[in-house]
Amino acid sequence: MIHTYTIPCLDLAQIDASGQCFRMTCRKDGWWQILTRDRQALARQSGPDQICLDCPPGEEAFWLSYFDCDTDYPQIIQSIDPEDAYLRAAAHAGSGIRILRQDPWEMIITFVISQQKTIPHIRQLTQALCRRYGSPLKAKGSQEDPLFAFPRPDQLAAASLEELLDLKLGYRAKYIYQLSQDAYQERLDLTVLSSMDYPEAMKYLTGFYGIGKKVANCICLFGLHHIQAFPVDTWIEKILMRQYYQPKKYRRTPKTRLLDQLVQDNFGKYDGYAGVLQQYIFYYERMGLFK
């Protein structure tokens, strides 16, 4: 079934480029193929703030939730401090970005893979993992290549450490191996994780081998929809130091606390949704739109 929906602040190309999902591809005919868990849909930008969605019957509500259609993004953009010209420009440039409601397990593995990797390479490795361990999906439209679901914990737990190393996961292989074993044996309880608030989820996630603060924040933001989460990677670090660092003010702040302090001082005022603004500045910087 194909339906057209009008949703403010929704741009599929911007979402794709925002680095939050790695299983979204634009076909030659302009339709985006979107995969999450074991579901697939096609979507096409039919106008500003308007998409055509082609999904299995009965899944419309799931996909509208996936695109976070109940969150008021125009209001978020409007709340930006008028004196923060950089943030205003970034939000204007990436105003079609929404925080997708993705799957926690898929985000755990995907963002462990993301460690010290470029976005194209993260896509490639994620696809390799799905192809090797995920269940095949019935092709939709005129697709020739078979599609694969993201492997469930029980499927990924069948992988040996040697197999994962063969997929060129490098030092991340041991993390993914251990996390798969933990999830399969329910030491990592995804149901409990999903019921936790942001601070609880951070504490829980960082307790597992291979999940540090940055990856835990990505899982919270993209997999659990805790939109107050504010992941700090090398891009965000560069922005914080260039746009917000004042030598006088932070002269006696230890290096490891400096970034936390900069986030708190400049984004703490956006209580409860700072992660949305993180996505705007990440996109703005990575796309080279600044200056």
Partner DNA sequence: TACCAGGGGTAAG
Partner DNA sequence: CTTACCCATGGT
> Site residues (CB under 7 A) for DNA?
18-20, 114-121, 168, 170-172, 206, 208-216, 218, 231, 233-235, 238, 254-257, 282, 286
Q: How far is the CB of 221 from DNA (least distance, A)?
A: 9
Query: With respect to DNA, which residue has the nearer C-beta, 210 or 223?
Result: 210
Give the shortest CB-260-to-DNA separation in angstroms: 10
How far is residue 151 from each of residues 93, 99, 106, 130, 147, measured CA to CA in Å? Answer: 35, 23, 8, 6, 12
Please say whether the beta carbons of 272 and 228 come within 8 A. Answer: yes
What is the smallest separation between the CB atom of 29 and DNA, expressed in angstroms? 26
Nearer to DNA (CB atom), residue 171 or residue 272 = 171
Nearer to DNA, 140 or 214 (CB): 214
Question: Is the alpha carbon torsion for 170, 35, 134, 103 positive or negative?
Answer: positive
Q: Which one, 192 or 209, has the nearer CB to DNA?
A: 209
d(CA 46, CA 281): 26
Q: Cα 128 to chain center, whole Å?
A: 19
CB of 46 to DNA, least distance (A): 25
Nearer to DNA, 136 or 207 (CB): 207
Residues facing 147 on adjacent strands: 137
Least Å from the CB of residue 199 to DNA: 16
Closest by alpha carbon to 111, among 15, 14, 224?
Answer: 224
Number of H helices, E strands in the chain: 15, 7
